[in-house]
Every structure is written in structure tokens, then in C-alpha cells.
């Protein structure tokens, strides 16, 4: 597919002295040599090969993840399920560049992550990924809209391109922009957190037990927002949960047990 690069929004930066562009619309990283106008879609966006994560505390060795092999493509809606302690959060942290594997390879658009300098990795993290957590992590003294704008402090992307009112509309919380977190319900707080995750226009949303603190009706409302973001806004969504209702919204389920993938299945006709 040829797309004149002047018609597309992208930012240019350097990784290991190679100029790269992060295309905003698909979160695609391409090496750049003069013009780059071809997008190679033949490979998977995120690829983990034999990834393991071991924690050592004193004499205890904990195998949080063991030999994980998984490919994630643009536009997928994935639910990572498994009991508490099975490695869901660890997997999400590695995928979202918050943590690094002890062994194995992780590549983003065919670039091995371990070769990225720390600063480039941090930039890629804030530009490619948006995070949502069970506990919302809102700043209590800031209003909803101020909370949504926090990630723009660390980003070089132009916040006007994807402004705060717009993302608050996408998360259906634009009627509460001036409320402080203490004046919001749990579901409303999570909507603010989702709007915040969207502010840098990430290609991938990573959500760790996003409905863990919500009642089932509110949980469904939140899942409908993720579904909308996946189907209409073409975001790749990766959600960790042990709630069956939540995982039923996904198109693909990756089941973990004791740090290993015990099932990886695609749902048919899940709309």
C-alpha cells in the first residue's frame, strides 16, 4: 500500500541512530531513508518469542512467565485470562514496555525491543500504548480533564490533534470535565482513565483488570467503550481479567496458568 507521507500524521525520531517514523494512525514503526511510503503489513505488530520472567526474592525463585510465544496483530481485541498469580499483569507489563523479560525476545514491528535505548523505549511506550488499571490511578487534586491531560506532559505529540474534549467524548465522560475524582463514581473514574489512555492517540490500549472494582452493570458499560474503541477507532485492545463477562467482549482469548499459555483461541462472529 502506498501512502504519500505528507498526507499522514507521523512523528520522526531516532532509534539506534536510525531515523524512524511512528505513524499515528496505525502505530506503525518504519525505518526511514528519505521517503518512507510503504507500510509492511506482512508481519505481526507485537511478537513475543520464548519469553520468560523470573523473580528472585532471597531463596525464592518465582517463574511469573515461562516460554510465552504470542503474536498480536493490529486491530485485535484480546482478553488475557487466568487465576490470580498466573502472570497476566507481568505479561501486560512486558508487552507495554513497563517491564523487561528475563529471557526470550520481544519485538515491535520487527524491531527487537532490547536493542532500544531507554529514552527511545520510553517515547515508544508513551506513543504506542495507553494504559488503564483496576485502581484508576487518578490524581485526586486534579479535575477530570486535567487528569486526562497529564500524559501530554511526557509526550511530544501535539495534544491538539486529539484534544481532551474529544477523548472524553469517546469515553463518554465529557459531562464531568470539571469534577474531581472524589466527585465521580467508580465507573466515571474509569472513563476518565480511559480518556487519559487515549490522549496521545495510542495504537494499543492495555487494560489490567479494568472492571475489577466495578459492579457488573458498570463493567458492561466500560466493556462497551472498549468494544467501540476497537471496532470504530481501530485500537488494538489487550485486557487482563478473570471475569468471564469481560472476556466475552474479546475476539481472542489467551489463557494463562502458572505463567504458561494453556489456550489461545479466536472467537467466531463476536460483534
Ligand X SMILES: Nc1ncnc2c1ncn2[C@@H]1O[C@H](COP(=O)(O)OP(=O)(O)O)[C@@H](O)[C@H]1O
Give the residues lining the site for ligand X (CB under 6 A): 55, 57, 62, 64, 82, 84-90
Asked if 147 interacts with Mg ion (CB under 5 A), we say no
CA separation for the pair 67, 196 (Å, rounded): 33
Asked if 79 interacts with Mg ion (CB under 5 A), we say no
Nearer to ligand X, 84 or 265 (CB): 84
Q: How many CB atoms lie within 10 A of CB 263?
A: 11
Residues counted in the chain = 271
Task: State the minimum distance, in angstroms, from the CB of residue 127 to Mg ion.
Answer: 24
Determine the straight-line distance between the first and last CA of the chain, rounded to whole angstroms: 28
Nearer to ligand X, 157 or 255 (CB): 255
Task: State the minimum distance, in angstroms, from the CB of residue 102 to ligand X.
Answer: 12
Nearer to ligand X, 86 or 200 (CB): 86
Residue 152 interacts with which of Mg ion, ligand X, none, CB < 5 to 8 Å by class: none
Ramachandran quadrant class, 139 (left: phi over 0; alpha: psi -120 to 50; beta: rest): beta
> How far, in Å, are 116, 117, 146, 223 from residue 106 at the CA level?
11, 14, 34, 28
Q: How many CB atoms lie within 10 A of CB 147?
A: 25
Residue 64 interacts with which of ligand X, Mg ion, none, CB < 5 to 8 Å by class: ligand X
Nearer to Mg ion, 53 or 172 (CB): 53
CA separation for the pair 200, 129 (Å, rounded): 9
* Residue in the shown chain whose Cβ atom is closest to Mg ion: 89
Asked if 134 interacts with Mg ion (CB under 5 A), we say no
Task: State the minimum distance, in angstroms, from the CB of residue 89 to Mg ion.
Answer: 3
Residue 100 interacts with which of ligand X, Mg ion, none, CB < 5 to 8 Å by class: none
Mind spelling out the 3-state secondary structure of 70-128? EEECCCCEEEEECCCCCCHHHHHHHHCCCCCCCEEEEEECCEEHHHCCHHHHHHHHHHH
Residue 3 interacts with which of Mg ion, ligand X, none, CB < 5 to 8 Å by class: none
Site for Mg ion, rule CB under 5 A: 88-89
Amino acid at each position: 500500500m502506498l501512502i504519500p507521507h505528507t498526507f499522514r500524521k507521523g512523528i520522526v525520531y531516532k532509534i539506534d541512530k536510525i531515523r524512524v517514523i511512528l505513524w499515528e494512525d496505525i502505530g506503525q514503526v518504519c525505518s526511514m531513508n528519505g521517503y518512507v511510503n510503504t507500510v509492511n503489513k506482512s508481519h505481526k505488530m507485537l511478537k513475543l518469542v520464548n519469553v520468560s520472567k523470573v523473580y528472585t526474592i532471597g531463596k525464592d525463585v518465582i517463574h511469573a512467565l515461562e516460554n510465552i510465544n504470542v503474536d498480536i496483530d493490529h486491530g485485535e481485541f484480546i482478553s488475557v485470562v487466568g487465576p490470580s498469580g498466573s502472570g497476566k499483569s507481568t505479561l501486560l507489563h512486558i508487552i507495554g514496555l513497563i517491564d523487561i523479560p528475563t529471557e526470550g525476545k520481544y519485538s515491535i514491528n520487527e524491531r527487537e525491543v532490547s536493542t532500544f535505548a531507554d529514552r527511545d523505549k520510553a517515547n515508544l511506550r508513551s506513543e504506542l500504548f495507553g494504559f488503564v488499571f483496576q485502581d484508576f490511578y487518578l490524581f485526586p487534586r486534579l479535575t477530570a480533564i486535567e487528569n486526562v491531560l497529564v500524559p501530554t506532559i511526557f509526550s511530544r505529540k501535539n495534544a491538539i490533534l486529539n484534544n481532551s474534549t474529544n477523548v472524553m467524548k469517546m469515553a463518554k465522560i465529557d459531562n464531568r470535565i470539571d469534577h474531581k475524582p472524589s466527585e465521580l463514581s467508580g465507573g466515571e473514574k474509569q472513563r476518565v482513565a480511559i480518556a487519559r489512555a487515549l490522549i496521545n492517540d495510542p495504537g494499543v490500549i492495555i487494560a489490567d483488570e479494568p472492571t475489577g472494582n466495578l459492579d457488573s452493570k458498570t463493567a458492561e458499560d466500560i466493556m462497551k467503550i472498549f468494544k467501540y474503541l476497537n471496532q470504530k477507532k481501530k485500537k488494538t485492545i489487550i485486557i487482563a481479567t478473570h471475569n468471564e463477562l469481560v472476556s466475552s467482549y474479546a475476539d481472542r482469548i489467551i489463557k494463562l496458568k502458572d505463567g504458561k499459555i494453556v489456550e489461545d483461541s479466536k472467537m467466531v462472529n463476536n460483534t
